[in-house]
Amino acid sequence: MLGHHYTRTFLETAVASVNAGCNLELSYGMRNNVFMHIPQALAMGNITLQMLRDRVRPLFYTRMRLGEFDPPAMNPYSSLDLSVVQSPEHRNLSLEAAVKSFVLLKNVRGTLPLRAQDLSGQRLAVVGPFADNPRVLFGDYAPVPEPQYIYTPRRGLEMLGANVSFTAGCSEPRCQQYSRAELVRVVGAADVVLICLGTGIDVETEAKDRSDLSLPGHQLELLQDAVQ
């Protein structure tokens, strides 16, 4: 609220938030927090002790339900390891969720989906900074998964048994250094080309927005060269 000029001070923000029913502040890494001004607001009579208790109660109730105050031995999740998290059932469910969440904006002449039986004898080129870089495939607030469980576009296509060639063109999403000659060589020898472009957390995250929707660096040039 302070950043949007609804309030002028952290004290005003604390009073307005508590009175509005807010009971949680996301202020990780901030030395000066809004909630640290709640005692002052209470002393000044801007909020009441009962109101404060009403706000805090559901927080601790939720933490109790989650077992945060129980001994670790009582927590059924403490015994889970990758054999459970990465079980075939969980991985199949993740695959189903991924397949059902894709957004296909255009499909000229039914080019997609690519089927393994149709790729026999075909030469595929997978290019772009997102083609085989596991680190850049996850967005803001995503967990850090085990590399062995990450399937990049290149790795996934190679599982189809197709003849896959690869070049990134540029090693990272900002694409400041672009190897055009290598891209032209790989694309020129292919029957099917898949171009993997985007932004990723290197380019944009929360509080790091871009001023336009243009592809970063030389990515547009990379796309145009591959199409040509």
Question: How confident is the model at residue 70, as a pLDDT?
Answer: 92
Tell me, yes or no, whether 200 lies in a domain.
yes
- The pLDDT of 198-214, averaged and rounded, is 88
Residue 188 belongs to some domain of the structure? yes
- Classify residue 80: in a domain, yes or no: no
Q: Is residue 168 part of a domain?
A: yes
Using pLDDT thresholds of 50, 70 and 90, give the confidence band for residue 28: low
For residue 164, the enclosing domain spans 105-226
pLDDT mean over 42-54: 95
Question: Is residue 93 situated within a structural domain?
Answer: no
> Rounded mean pLDDT of the chain?
90
Same-domain status, 29 and 111: no
Q: What's the confidence (pLDDT) of residue 138?
A: 87
Say yes or no: 127 and 56 in one domain: no
112 and 61 assigned to the same domain: no
169 Rama sector, left if φ>0, alpha if ψ -120 to 50, beta otherwise: left
Phi, psi of 193 (to 5 degrees): -120, 130
Q: Of all helices (H) and strands (E), which one includes residue 152? A: none
Same domain, 215 and 154: yes
User: Is residue 2 included in any domain, yes or no?
Assistant: no
Q: Are residues 119 and 204 in the same domain?
A: yes
CA distance 209 to 15: 30
Residue 156 included in any domain: yes
Output the CA torsion 215→162→156→164 (10° steps).
-40
More confident residue, 80 or 219: 219
Confidence (pLDDT) at 147: 79
Confidence of residue 97 (pLDDT cuts 50, 70, 90): very high
Split at pLDDT 50, 70, 90, the class of 29 is: low
Q: What is the percent of the chain where pLDDT is above 90? A: 59
Same domain, 62 and 114: no
Res 1 pLDDT > 90: no
Q: How many domains does the chain have?
A: 2
Of 29, 57, 74, which marks where a domain is finished? 74
Q: Is 197 exposed, middle or buried (0-12, 13-18, 19+ CB in 10 A)?
A: buried
Q: 17: pLDDT confidence band, cut at 50, 70 and 90?
A: very high
Rounded CA-CA distance 153/212 in Å is 27
Query: Tokens 């599982």 appear where?
Result: 159
Q: Work out the average pLDDT over 157-183.
A: 92
For residue 120, what pLDDT is reported?
81
Same domain, 158 and 209: yes
Host H or E run for residue 50: helix 49-65
Same domain, 219 and 174: yes
